[in-house]
Structure 1
Amino acid sequence: MDTVGTPGTDRRITAPTGRGRPEAEHDDLLSELLKPLRLTGVFDSRWHVSAPWAIEGDAEEGCAVLHYVVEGGCWITGADQAPVELRAGDLIVFPTGAAHRLSDRPERQGLSLKAVLPERDPGTSGEIRIDGTGDESRLLCAGLHYDAGAAGGLYRSLPWALVLDGAQVDREPLLRDTLRLLASTDRPIGPGDRLITLRAFEMALVLALRPLLRELADNPASLPVLRHPGISRALVMIATRFTEPWTIDSLAREVGMSRSAFTAAFRELVGESPARHLTARRMQEAARLLTETHLPQSSVPPRVGYQSAVGFHLAFRKWFGMTPGEYRTGVASAA
């Protein structure tokens, strides 16, 4: 997998050699990357384009973007990023929906995606056709919507774009076959089709990220936060021990840092304060318990680290803009 990061860089990630067992903490921490990937909706489209062509896509908040080259090829260009060439069989994922341009040549300017596909509501599909005189390409493209509030700082710190070339996709047969089915123009349509499509794209996204997780576990230096033992350990504790009565002071002591140094390093590496990160993890689990279990609402607070039901109620309402009961009812009604 390639990660496309800072301007002018393009780093190849190779599969782990198997020498040395990754630390258990890194395994626990990296598994948290997959937590927010329960998709809430997908807009997918099939592109049939012939050169010359270029389409500009805006940033998508709370949305991962996926492009799979079925036939031909294209170039991906982003602001202050080195252009990336994709060929048939290659897959690129933008975990946080960064703005980018797709084109037959990296220097070509083009149309806005909004002009070509003005309506891109989750749960619908679209098609783009550009008839030129040059080489033809076919692509499967999708916007994968997830709950942005559930995406932690670690997920948001991923590179702007991740690339799996065709050979790497082929080494993941389930990913390869899922992408081919989704790209097919004659896939079966029937009852539950949109739900099946949603879960198939969700699986494709997780499968595409797995090689990255393997590499990060094998080479922690690939992600800055993993290079800091104190902050890395704190993230694991928040992810797995969020029911404990943590304070900033107790977290800092647990990892052997002063409060001020811990807070500053955490904010710099994770992108948010330790308190907000802890609240996010607790609210994420609370939302899951309310929507995926029949647990009485009164039993939720102690399971997510709140001894006071009133304190939990106030924190939940501040985080989601509604009470726990309204949240449970609203999700059930939507389902």
Structure 2
Amino acid sequence: MADVVAITRRGSIVYGRNRFHAPWGIGFPAGAMASVHVVTAGACWLIPDGGEPIHLTRADVVLVPSGLAHALVDRPGRPVRPVEELIGGPLGQATPTDLVIDGDGPLTGLLCGAFLLDSSPRHPITAVLPPIVHIAAGHARGTGLPAALDLLSAEVERSGPGAAAVVASLLDLLFVYILRAWIAEQHKECPGWVAALYDPAVGGALALIHRDPANPWTVPSLARAVRVPRATFSRRFTTLTGQAPMAYVTSWRMTVASRLLREEQAPLREVARRVGYDSEFAFARAFKRTVGHSPGQYRTSAKANQVRPETGHQPAPSPIHASGASTGQQ
């Protein structure tokens, strides 16, 4: 799971430590990022686009992994204002901002952030996650999630030296804990890649592939490593992950290569070697077949489309007071 987070994210950002007094409503647009909301005080409602309202209370955590448009409101039916209007720019580009909405109703505290995810190639976990992952405070006990939330909240409040780097790391940790808490609760009912993690043979093979993607894996070598007959292993792996073993190996290698191309300046032959290819040509052909672009084109495009450097929370000189945020202005 840590591998999935490290490979698929392009950065983390806290874009709001918010104190809202009812009435209020804020809308979040659809986009290529996973939003996360933590209720630090009071209660509110999350309204997914086209979905039913979800009631949130203190210490609840919500992950919106699909980039689905949604709103946070003090009560269903409340008019909303776009979050970009309140923070002064698009999510991922605006300066992190504390928001205060001055109403005469109850207080809701929210810590809002985002994980900027790479869209290509997508990991199979994205196919099984629901549009909204809601971890209620009571269900988070024993998962490590409450401790991660306490650390993140304390660091955001403290805003000491190095806070940006610390918060970015804690957001990664929070992402892992949210996914782990959801998997622990859902894995018996959730087929596919999640169930594969709990299968002794397939889960063991996945660990080997992730640990050493450059190894010259074959179906026989993986089957021997997890001590399962080759035919049984291949059938079980394909059933649970939705991919044949060697197709998964190639997909994971290309995912790792994508990160290397985005984040490092190593020559293509070095990237090829680190994901198991002796031939730069063979690597380039496999990469284009999987990702849809040549490695060089992908690297150039990734640099041109970089949203912003990874960052954490950096408090504004003073909070933005957004009185009238629930007046229905769009």
Q: What TM-score, normalized to structure 1? A: 0.66
Do the aligned partners of 2:124 and 2:193 also contact (CA within 8 Å) in 1? no
Please point out which of 154, 168, 175 is paired with 1:205: 175
Structure 1: unaligned runs, 5 residues or longer? 1-29
Structure 1 residues 147-188: Cα deviation after superposition (integer angstroms, max 9, x where no partner): 22254122242011222223444543531322322452xx13
Any conservation in 2 of the 1:36–1:150 contact (CA below 8 Å)? no
- Give the deviation of 1:75 after TM superposition: 0.3
Q: 1:128: how far off?
A: 2.4
Query: Is structure 2 residue 147 aligned with structure 1 residue 174?
Result: yes
Matched length: 286
Matches within 5 A, 1:74-93: 74-93=44-63
Pair 325,72 (structure 1): closer, same or farther in 2 beyond 3 Å: closer
Q: Which of 130, 138, 142 does residue 159 from structure 1 map onto? A: 130
Give the Å deviation of 1:65: 0.9
What is the deviation of 1:76? 0.7
Q: Structure 2 matches for 1:265-304, cutoff 5 A?
A: 279-288=250-259, 297-304=268-275
Give the Å deviation of 1:209.
2.0
CA distance in 2: counterparts of 1:160 and 1:121, whole angstroms = 20
Alignment gaps of 5+ in structure 2 = 220-229, 311-330
Contact 2:38 2:62 in 1 (8 A): yes
1:308 aligns with 2:264: no
| Secondary structure in structure 1 of the residue aligned to 2:97 | strand
Distance 1:175 1:103 in 2: 25
Instruction: Report deviation, 1:88.
Output: 1.5
Q: Measured at CA, do residues 31 and 71 of structure 1 come closer, stay the same or move farther in structure 2, by a change above 3 Å?
A: closer
Q: Find the residue that maps to 2:120 and give its secondary structure.
A: helix
SS of the residue 2:16 aligns to: strand
TM-fit CA distance, 1:227: 6.5
Residue 73 of structure 2 corresponds to residue 103 of structure 1: yes
Distance 1:86 1:115 in 2: 24
Q: Hey, what's the Cα distance between the residues in 2 that align with 1:240 and 1:160?
A: 29
Change beyond 3 A, Cα 1:131–1:223: farther
Q: Deviations over 1:250-307 (max 9, x none)?
A: xx977666xxxx7xx89xx86x999986554222222455678998753543553435
Corresponding residue for residue 195 of structure 1 = 165
**Change in CA separation of 1:124 and 1:275 when aligned onto 2, cut-off 3 Å:** farther
Q: Measure how far apart 1:57 and its partner are.
A: 1.0
* Aligned mates of 2:183, 2:87 — CA distance in 1: 33
Structure-1 residue corresponding to 2:16: 45
Question: Residue by residue, what CA displacement relative to the aligned partner does 1:171-221 show, whole Å, maximum 9, x if unpaired?
Answer: 43531322322452xx1333x4322221121112212222223334xx433
- Secondary structure, aligned partner of 2:31: coil
The alignment's C-alpha RMSD in Å is: 4.3
TM-score scaled by length of structure 2? 0.67
Aligned partners of 2:30, 2:232: CA distance in 1, in Å?
Answer: 38
Q: Match of 1:160, SS?
A: coil
Distance 1:81 1:36, change over 3 A: farther
Q: Which amino acid aligns with 1:204?
A: L
- In 1: Cα distance, 2:7 partner to 2:164 partner: 20
Kindly state the Cα deviation for residue 223 of structure 1 after the two structures are TM-superposed: 3.7
Higher-RCO chain (CA-CA 8 Å, sequence separation at least 6): 2
Q: Is 1:124–2:90 an aligned residue pair?
A: no
Identity %: 23
Deviations 1:294-334 (A, max 9, x none): 9875354355343532121344467465529967x969xx8
The 1:288/1:116 distance shift into structure 2, 3 A limit, reads: closer
